[in-house]
């Protein structure tokens, strides 16, 4: 089903995901939360991953770290550098976590153990992955990473409840970079923070990943944040990768109607019109429509959409999507233009 | 501030004492309305048990003076409060002229011994066991013990005691049928006597341990299940920590907090349960003293024991409350 | 009906509990058909100290009671005490909990402090004094009332917490804005949401009531003439029945008590699962 991953020039990728699937086996039947996802990530690259709640973003993040628990099952392959995470035994995958592939958790507010000091929570990562490290060095490293995330070293002596939300998130970032992994997954790292702190935390993540040349996967649904932060953007819908490509290109020339709708739902200063949501809801993974999963909400659905699952197609280097419109003359862009011409009122200034 | 918290807690302790003493003062007067002392002493002597007839008039006279029964009620009340505050709980009606506090001090070490031993044992065993049952990577066999634990934890201690007596003391004769030490031996601090003490304490302790281990295990299991859904558990796994570290440092460490609160809250229940176990085993502790006092209509002793236990439990709770910040750093008692 | 059976397969605790009580109903039913309870459950109605036999299925005690008849009467009496005490406690607790949580302010402070102080006092011990002071007049209903007098603090605290959390839900805000008054809100909006929760906590307070009644009776503070389960335990201890080898005298009440407690515990766990779907499939 999946088209071959287009090969790119440049350094070898640090993260390679091939046909990653996550299935949950429940009483109600099999439920595929992540469906044949493939992509690559170069060193120091920033990839954004967007989609509505329930689209499989967080499931994919867990699957990349191999943290899917029964009744869930992972299929496909994940490589970090030359190490294949998906074939490792339990001990090897445990030592790969945070060392090869780090994580900044979604719920920083409650991700830290409430009853032990920050020092111990950073130290346990260091000690587990580098058992030979002498205590003095552990202590120095703790101060060093805290400084790297712009916290004073004394923070190590505090308990989580004594920190603000932004500080807790910084501690999590410090833990994520403590072992200088090749990849960090940041799952909505700022969703619980207020706007100003959000901005500062994102700046810290950006600075550290540049300095240490760590690749980052930023998960979220804030298209505005994505536009500013990531080099490449991927869009998930109902467990599938709908579209992936360079951020600028995706914003300028989306080739999947869902991407287009996400972009036009973004309020900008230029738009005087009404904020447009996306009509309809994400389909239940237990009763997905036939053919293309998005067709029930797609304004451009065609007869073929309910019959054939669209295959992934390349649009130039490093830009792929799965939509039947790509085979129609003019593609998505043509359809949008045609629609705008015929019913201008419905577009409410979207093209002003 | 920490100091103001302590002060507040001391105040609560005194409020508890005052309420307990007041109930002790008011209830007997409400229930009979007439002369409580004479009535009871006559009822007592009429049964021909406990006290002999010789001391009756003396006792009545002494109690009249002690309680100042001719005085107006408010004055009686103040005197009563003052006396109980000094743990002057009066004299036993059935063991006259022994003082109630004297009887309690004789019986206290027995109760303290088995209650402390059984509580610590069952709490430790139950907590470890419950934590293991809830741990997904522990052997599956453990989960089959849940129904057995449920059954044990649902049954009152003394009911289990009856079963143990029948099988292990009466049928198998492995353990003595009752009492704190063999009849005819003289209590001493010799090793041999200590051995006999332990031997007699096994069955009473066992009935409490068997019945309450299940409760602790189930409580811990529930907490562990809840905690496994917490974000910090997922994050600990993402950190690549080994199972043992996640189990002890994250899951057990956090589940222990409500478990300890549970211990504090169930102390009253434990003491009441232990009292009935003593009655069943004829063990010479406070429970037996209370049972005995009830059967002999010895009201001063009944009220004295209840007051004493309420106050002691209040003190223990007070100490636990002060120690709690040591295990939960979030609680600092600061406003 | 088949839907209910299907549900029981997903909620085995509730199934076990219902099964236990079905056993009790059959046991008591047979007892009622077999005996004239008003006579056979009282002393001197049968030869003393007989072990179980065809004629006396559960044996007789030293005072000449037929133990099957005693168990028939005792199961009902003990459950009656527990239910009366538990229900009264729950009703008082619900009212106080509602009042405290709904009106807040000084009412809440007062009720909450009272509950907090009383909860630190071991209830059974206080019941001992009350029961001791009233023992001359003791009967089944008085015992239930005495136990109820200390059975309301737990429910008060729980209901208060529940109402406090319900208060903030959007549907209540909507009801307030649409001009319903306090009582309408309580009875039309809050109560229906609390019902499953109340059912689960009724089981808890009934268990507590039975536990307290057995304890008081075993200490000798019950209604001495009545053939309740707790009084039977008292006589077993009083006559040292086990040391005389009269195992049947203890076996009957111990078994019934175990069945009652395990049954109540299972039903409670089952109802909890019904009331808090969040914990479903966890236990």
- Identify the pLDDT of residue B335: 39
C233 contacts B268? CB cut-off 8 A: no
pLDDT in tens, A148-203: 988 999 999 999 988 888 899 999 999 999 988 999 999 888 877 788 888 888 89
Cβ proximity of A85 and A28 under 8 Å: no
Say how far apart CA A106 and CA B231 lie, in whole Å: 9
Residues of B in contact with C233 (CB under 8 A): 158-159, 162
C257 contacts B151? CB cut-off 8 A: no
Say how far apart CA B6 and CA B273 lie, in whole Å: 30
A80 inside 8 A of chain B by CB: no
Q: Which residue has the higher pLDDT, A74 or B187?
A: A74
Average pLDDT over residues A300-313: 85
DSSP element (H, E) containing A292: none
The answer to whether residue A350 scores a pLDDT higher than 50 is: no
> How many helices and strands, by DSSP H and E, does chain B display?
13, 0
Say how far apart CA A265 and CA A223 lie, in whole Å: 9
The answer to whether residue C24 scores a pLDDT higher than 90 is: yes
pLDDT in tens, C196-250: 778 888 898 999 999 999 999 988 888 888 899 999 999 998 888 888 888 899 9
Biggest CA pair distance of chain C: 73
Say how far apart CA A179 and CA A3 lie, in whole Å: 35
Cβ proximity of A25 and A73 under 8 Å: yes
pTM of the shown model: 0.79
A113 contacts B249? CB cut-off 8 A: yes
- Identify the pLDDT of residue C74: 93
Cβ proximity of C114 and C121 under 8 Å: no
- Identify the pLDDT of residue A348: 46
- Identify the pLDDT of residue C72: 92
Say how far apart CA C88 and CA C82 lie, in whole Å: 10
Cβ proximity of C98 and C163 under 8 Å: yes
The domains located in chain B, with CATH, are 110-286 (1.10.3720.10)
Say how far apart CA B44 and CA B55 lie, in whole Å: 12
- Rg (C-alpha) for chain B, rounded Å, is 24
The answer to whether residue B119 scores a pLDDT higher than 60 is: yes
Q: Which residues contact A5 (CB under 8 A, 6 or more apart)?
A: A18, A38, A39, A40
The answer to whether residue C81 scores a pLDDT higher than 90 is: yes
A115 contacts B328? CB cut-off 8 A: yes
The count of other CB atoms within 10 Å of the CB of residue B186 is 7
How remote is the C-alpha of A49 from its chain's centroid? 3
Domain with CATH 3.40.50.300 in chain A: 15-230
Average pLDDT over residues C77-90: 94
C282 inside 8 A of chain B by CB: yes
Cβ proximity of B116 and B209 under 8 Å: no
Cβ proximity of A155 and A70 under 8 Å: no
Residues of B in contact with C119 (CB under 8 A): 265
Say how far apart CA B260 and CA B321 lie, in whole Å: 10
Average pLDDT over residues A232-241: 89
- Percent of chain B, pLDDT > 70? 85
B268 contacts C257? CB cut-off 8 A: no
Residues of B in contact with C215 (CB under 8 A): 156, 272, 276
Residue of C nearest to B309 (CA): C125
Cβ proximity of A60 and A240 under 8 Å: no
A94 contacts B232? CB cut-off 8 A: no
> How many helices and strands, by DSSP H and E, does chain A display?
11, 12
C125 contacts B272? CB cut-off 8 A: yes
Residue with tokens 């295959």: A311
Q: Which residues contact C260 (CB under 8 A, 6 or more apart)?
A: C20, C24, C75, C78, C79, C210, C229
- Identify the pLDDT of residue B41: 61
Highest mean pLDDT among A169-183, B310-324, C104-118 belongs to: A169-183
Say how far apart CA C31 and CA B281 lie, in whole Å: 32
Burial-class residue B193 by CB neighbours within 10 Å (0-12, 13-18, 19+).
middle
- Identify the pLDDT of residue C79: 95
Report the 3 state secondary structure along B115-165: HHHHHHHHHHHHHHHHHHHHCCCCCHHHHHHHHHHHHHHHCCHHHHHHHHH
The count of other CB atoms within 10 Å of the CB of residue B219 is 20
Say how far apart CA C207 and CA A118 lie, in whole Å: 44
pLDDT confidence band for B296 (50 / 70 / 90):
confident
Return the minimum-mean-pLDDT range out of A111-115, A215-219, B134-138: B134-138
- Identify the pLDDT of residue B299: 81
> How many beta-carbon contacts under 8 Å exist across A and B?
73
Residues of A in contact with B226 (CB under 8 A): none
Q: Which residue has the higher pLDDT, A273 or A327?
A: A327
- Identify the pLDDT of residue C283: 34
Highest mean pLDDT among A160-164, A251-255, B45-49, C81-85 belongs to: C81-85
Q: Which residue has the higher pLDDT, A328 or C261?
A: C261
Residues of B in contact with A65 (CB under 8 A): 238
Q: Which residue has the higher pLDDT, B86 or C145?
A: C145
CA-wise closest residue to A4 among A38, A48, A47: A38
Residues of B in contact with A116 (CB under 8 A): 249, 253
Report the 3 state secondary structure along A310-349: CCCEECCCCCEECCHHHHCCCHHHHHHHHHHHHCCHHHCC
Residues of C in contact with B156 (CB under 8 A): 211, 214-215, 257, 261
What are φ and ψ of residue A301, in 5° steps? -60, 140
Nearest by CB to B238, from A95, A97, A110: name it.
A97
State how far residue B59 is from chain C, nearest Cα, in angstroms.
20
B271 contacts C261? CB cut-off 8 A: no
Go through chain B and tell me how many residues it has: 335
The answer to whether residue B5 scores a pLDDT higher than 80 is: no
B254 contacts A113? CB cut-off 8 A: yes
Residue of B nearest to A97 (CA): B240
Mean pLDDT of chain C: 85
Say how far apart CA B92 and CA C22 lie, in whole Å: 48
Average pLDDT over residues B154-179: 83
DSSP element (H, E) containing A102: strand A101-104
pLDDT in tens, B223-249: 888 888 888 998 999 998 988 899 998
B235 inside 8 A of chain A by CB: yes
B47 inside 8 A of chain A by CB: no
Angle at C117 between CA C114 and CA C123, to 5 degrees: 105
As a CATH number, domain A15-230 is 3.40.50.300
The domains located in chain C, with CATH, are 19-279 (1.10.3720.10)
A96 inside 8 A of chain B by CB: yes
- Identify the pLDDT of residue C87: 94
Average pLDDT over residues A60-78: 87
Residues of B in contact with A111 (CB under 8 A): 231-232, 234-235
C44 inside 8 A of chain B by CB: no
CA-wise closest residue to A31 among A281, A282, A280, A287: A287
The count of other CB atoms within 10 Å of the CB of residue C272 is 22
A98 contacts B240? CB cut-off 8 A: yes
Residues of B in contact with C130 (CB under 8 A): 23, 27
> Subunits that touch chain A (at least 3 Cβ pairs < 8 angstroms)?
B
- Identify the pLDDT of residue B127: 92
Nearest by CB to B170, from C122, C124, C242: name it.
C242
Q: Which residue has the higher pLDDT, B326 or A42?
A: A42
DSSP element (H, E) containing B198: helix B191-227
> Regarding beta strands A183-187 and A215-220, do their DSSP bridges make them parallel or antiparallel, or are they unpaired?
parallel
Mean pLDDT of chain A: 83
Most A CBs within 10 A among B227, B232, B334, hence the mutation to make, goes to B232
- Identify the pLDDT of residue C282: 35
B159 contacts C257? CB cut-off 8 A: yes
- Rg (C-alpha) for chain A, rounded Å, is 21
Average pLDDT over residues C248-269: 90
pLDDT in tens, B176-223: 877 777 776 677 777 777 777 888 888 999 999 988 888 898 889 888
The answer to whether residue B303 scores a pLDDT higher than 70 is: yes
A67 contacts B234? CB cut-off 8 A: yes
Between positions 161 and 180 of A, the ones with CB within 8 A of B are 161, 172, 175
- Identify the pLDDT of residue B328: 79
State how far residue A172 is from chain B, nearest Cα, in angstroms.
10
Cβ proximity of C77 and C225 under 8 Å: no
Most B CBs within 10 A among C14, C19, C116, C132, hence the mutation to make, goes to C132
The answer to whether residue A351 scores a pLDDT higher than 60 is: no
């Amino acid at each position: 089903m999946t088209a071959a991953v287009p090969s790119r020039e440049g350094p070898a990728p640090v993260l390679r995901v091939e046909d990653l699937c996550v299935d949950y086996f429940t009483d109600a039947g099999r439920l595929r939360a992540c469906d044949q996802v493939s992509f690559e990530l170069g060193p120091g690259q920033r990839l954004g991953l967007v989609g509505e709640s329930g689209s499989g973003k967080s499931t994919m993040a867990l699957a990349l770290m191999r943290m899917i628990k029964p009744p869930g099952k992972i299929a496909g392959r994940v490589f970090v550098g030359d190490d294949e995470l998906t074939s490792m035994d339990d001990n090897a995958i445990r030592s790969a976590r945070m060392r090869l592939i780090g994580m900044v958790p979604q719920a920083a507010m409650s991700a830290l153990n409430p009853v032990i000091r920050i020092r111990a929570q950073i130290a346990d990562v260091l000690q587990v992955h580098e058992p030979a490290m002498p205590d003095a060095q552990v202590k120095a490293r703790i101060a060093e990473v805290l400084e790297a995330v712009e916290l004073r070293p004394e923070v190590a002596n505090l308990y989580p409840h004594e920190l603000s939300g932004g500080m807790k998130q910084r501690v999590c970032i410090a833990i994520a970079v403590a072992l200088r992994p090749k990849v960090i997954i940041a799952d909505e790292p700022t969703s619980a923070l207020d706007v100003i702190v959000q901005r500062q935390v994102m700046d810290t993540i950006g600075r550290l990943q540049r300095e240490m040349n760590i690749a980052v996967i930023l998960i979220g649904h804030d298209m505005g944040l994505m536009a500013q932060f990531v080099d490449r953007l991927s869009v998930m819908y109902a467990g599938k990768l709908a579209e992936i490509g360079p951020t600028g290109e995706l914003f300028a020339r989306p080739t999947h109607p869902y991407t287009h709708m996400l972009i036009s739902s973004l309020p900008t200063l230029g738009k005087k019109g009404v904020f447009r949501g996306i009509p309809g809801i994400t389909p239940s993974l237990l009763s997905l429509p036939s053919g293309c999963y998005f067709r029930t909400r797609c304004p451009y659905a065609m007869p073929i959409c309910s019959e054939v699952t669209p295959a992934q197609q390349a649009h130039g280097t490093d830009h792929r999507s799965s939509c039947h419109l790509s085979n129609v003359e003019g593609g998505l862009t043509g359809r949008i233009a045609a629609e705008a011409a015929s019913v201008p009122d419905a577009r409410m200034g979207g093209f002003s | 501030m920490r100091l103001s918290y302590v002060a507040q807690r001391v105040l609560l302790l005194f409020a508890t004492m005052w309420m307990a003493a007041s109930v002790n003062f008011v209830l007997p007067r409400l229930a009979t309305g007439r002369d409580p002392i004479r009535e009871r002493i006559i009822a007592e002597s009429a049964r021909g048990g406990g006290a002999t007839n010789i001391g009756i008039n003396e006792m009545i006279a002494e109690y009249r003076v002690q309680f100042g029964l001719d005085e107006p009620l408010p004055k009686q009340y103040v005197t009563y409060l003052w006396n109980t505050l000094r743990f002057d709980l009066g004299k036993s009606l059935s063991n006259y002229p022994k003082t109630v506090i004297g009887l309690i001090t004789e019986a206290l070490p027995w109760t303290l011994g088995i209650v402390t031993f059984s509580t610590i044992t069952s709490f430790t065993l139950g907590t470890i066991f419950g934590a293991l049952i809830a741990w997904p990577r522990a052997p599956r066999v453990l989960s089959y013990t849940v129904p057995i634990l449920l059954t044990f934890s649902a049954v009152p201690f003394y009911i289990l005691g009856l079963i143990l007596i029948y099988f292990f003391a009466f049928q198998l004769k492995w353990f003595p049928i009752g009492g704190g030490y063999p009849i005819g031996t003289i209590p001493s601090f010799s090793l041999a006597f200590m051995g006999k003490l332990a031997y007699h304490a096994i069955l009473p302790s066992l009935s409490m341990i068997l019945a309450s281990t299940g409760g602790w295990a189930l409580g811990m299991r529930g907490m562990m299940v809840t905690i496994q859904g917490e974000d910090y558990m997922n994050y600990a796994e993402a950190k690549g920590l080994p199972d043992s570290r996640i189990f002890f440092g994250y899951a057990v460490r956090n589940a222990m907090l409500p478990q300890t609160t549970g211990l504090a809250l169930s102390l009253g229940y434990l003491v009441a349960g232990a009292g009935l176990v003593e009655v069943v085993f004829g063990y010479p502790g406070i429970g037996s003293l209370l049972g005995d006092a009830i059967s002999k209509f010895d009201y001063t002793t009944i009220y004295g024991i209840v007051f004493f236990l309420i106050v002691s439990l209040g003190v223990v709770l007070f100490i636990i409350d002060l120690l709690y910040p040591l295990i939960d750093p979030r609680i600092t008692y600061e406003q | 009906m088949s839907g209910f059976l299907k549900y029981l397969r997903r909620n085995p605790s509730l199934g076990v509990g219902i099964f236990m009580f079905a056993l009790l109903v059959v046991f008591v039913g047979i007892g009622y058909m077999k005996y004239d309870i008003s006579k056979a459950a009282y002393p001197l109605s049968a030869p003393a100290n007989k072990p179980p036999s065809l004629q006396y299925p559960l044996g007789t005690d030293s005072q000449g009671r037929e133990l099957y008849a005693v168990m028939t009467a005792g199961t009902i009496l003990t459950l009656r005490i527990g239910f009366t005490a538990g229900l009264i406690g729950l009703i008082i607790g619900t009212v106080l909990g509602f009042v405290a949580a709904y009106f807040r302010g000084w009412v809440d402070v007062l009720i909450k402090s009272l509950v907090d102080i009383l909860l630190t006092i071991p209830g059974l011990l206080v019941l001992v004094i009350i029961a001791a002071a009233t023992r001359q007049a003791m009967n089944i209903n008085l015992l239930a009332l005495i136990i109820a007098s200390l059975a309301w603090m737990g429910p008060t605290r729980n209901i208060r917490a529940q109402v406090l959390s319900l208060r903030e839900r959007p549907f209540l805000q909507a009801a307030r804005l649409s001009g319903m008054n306090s009582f309408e809100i309580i009875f039309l909006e809050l109560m229906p949401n609390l019902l499953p929760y109340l059912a689960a906590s009724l089981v808890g307070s009934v268990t507590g009531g039975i536990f307290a009644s057995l304890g008081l009776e075993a200490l000798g503070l019950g209604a001495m003439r009545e053939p309740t389960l707790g009084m039977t335990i008292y006589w077993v201890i009083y006559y040292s029945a086990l040391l005389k080898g009269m195992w049947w005298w203890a076996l009957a009440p111990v078994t019934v008590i175990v069945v009652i407690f395990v049954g109540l515990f299972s039903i409670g766990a089952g109802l909890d699962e019904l009331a808090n779907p969040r914990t479903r499939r966890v236990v």
